[in-house]
Structure 1
């Protein structure tokens, strides 16, 4: 199954590692992580900087999405990601 992150971007749900609030970018650890990822060209922005609501970390890229964490969580149905049956 796929998860729509906004714009024309969809990712495979099994590739999603984490979905975090964009406000977490203010944390020193998260800020450093995103700076390194930016230097390595892993960050893909789907929205303008002032409209970022979430950061979606996948196995291949990091997406800055205009869609809130709660909406992405509901879309992804997280329980299906952890259900091994």
Structure 2
């Protein structure tokens, strides 16, 4: 399955490590440090096209992790990810 995170960007859901609200998480120093380090490493992709509201951390075959900035709310992304899961 895949998750559309905005601006024609689709990622495999099996690679998703976490979906985070940028407003709530950016208050923490650890989160700011993590995002700054990811930016320095060049593994942050801004697919928001505007002001980002969330970020999605994914594993990647060529990098330790990759961070996508999305204009979609974290709750919207979470609901999209959960709606595609098969129910048993």
Tell me whether the two structures share a fold, i.e. TM-score over 0.5: yes
* TM-score normalised by length of structure 2: 0.82
CA distance in 2, matches of 1:53, 1:64: 8
For 1:22, the equivalent position in structure 2 comes to: 22
Structure 2 unaligned regions, length at least 5: 61-65
Task: Please state which structure has a larger fraction of its residues in helix.
Answer: 1
* TM-score normalised by length of structure 1: 0.85
Cα distance, 1:48 vs. partner?
4.5
For 1:43, the equivalent position in structure 2 comes to: 44
For 2:56, the equivalent position in structure 1 comes to: 56
RMSD of aligned residue pairs (Cα, Å): 2.2
SS in 2 for 1:26: coil
For 1:9, the equivalent position in structure 2 comes to: 9
SS in 1 for 2:26: helix
Q: How many residues align?
A: 82
- Whether the 8 Å CA contact 2:7–2:49 is kept in 1: the answer is no
Structure 1 unaligned regions, length at least 5: none
Cα distance, 1:26 vs. partner?
2.7
